[in-house]
Amino acid sequence: MYQATIIITLRTSILDVQGKAVEHGIHSLGMTTVSNVRIGKQVQLEIDAHSDEDAARITDEACRKILANSVMEDYSYTVAKV
Amino acid sequence: MYQATIIITLRTSILDVQGKAVEHGIHSLGMTTVSNVRIGKQVQLEIDAHSDEDAARITDEACRKILANSVMEDYSYTVAKV
């Protein structure tokens, strides 16, 4: 069994409106030294695979086909045997 | 300047309905070896702080006060000088 941890982030060229809203909230609470807030997704999943390569291949396929929007988002992942 | 990377995850005791929906979608695409999908948030922010401790203190304050729901979510973070 393998555990994959995927991080999906909005491309830096795209305005992160959710991040801007959170930044505004943080400033409202007095933490004015915080800037450039960007919000992404973390996906954890388990894969019943025979090898590291097999688990990585399935993780990449899931990212490309359903998890990430390749037009607006970048993704990275790590796969570990558990 | 410091960069903080925060991971916010739903507590394992709480049903992750978004993760279940994504898992169903992944299975529909033929990747039936994937299980236990859980979805969290990743927040990146920059902090104008004088020390590692100061940056970590502000990050923790942001997590407690606005980013994480302490009833349902756990958070962890790393802080690095940039």
pLDDT in tens, B36-60: 999 999 999 999 999 999 999 999 9
- Prediction pTM value: 0.93
pLDDT band at A79 (very low <50, low <70, confident <90, very high): very high
CB contact under 8 A, A45 and B38: yes
pLDDT given for residue B22 in this prediction: 97
Separation between Cα atoms, residue A5 and residue A18, nearest integer Å: 22
Query: How far off is chain B from A71, nearest CA to CA, in Å?
Result: 19
Separation between Cα atoms, residue B35 and residue A36, nearest integer Å: 34
pLDDT band at A65 (very low <50, low <70, confident <90, very high): very high
CB contact, 8 Å: B56 with chain A?
A: no
CATH of domain B2-81: 3.30.1280.10
Domain residue ranges in chain A: 2-81
Chain A and chain B share a number of CB contacts under 8 A equal to 101
Name the closest residue on chain B to residue A19, using Cα atoms. B43
pLDDT given for residue B16 in this prediction: 97
User: What SS3 state is found at A24?
Assistant: helix
pLDDT given for residue B74 in this prediction: 97
Q: Which of B23, B45, B64 to mutate to test the interface with A (most CBs of A within 10 A)?
A: B45
CB contact, 8 Å: B40 with chain A?
A: yes
When CB atoms are compared, the residue of A31, A58, A67 closest to B62 is: A31
pLDDT given for residue B23 in this prediction: 97
Q: Which two tokens stand for residue A19?
A: 């991040």
Report yes or no: B14 and B40 within 8 Å, Cβ to Cβ.
no
pLDDT given for residue B31 in this prediction: 96
pLDDT given for residue B73 in this prediction: 97
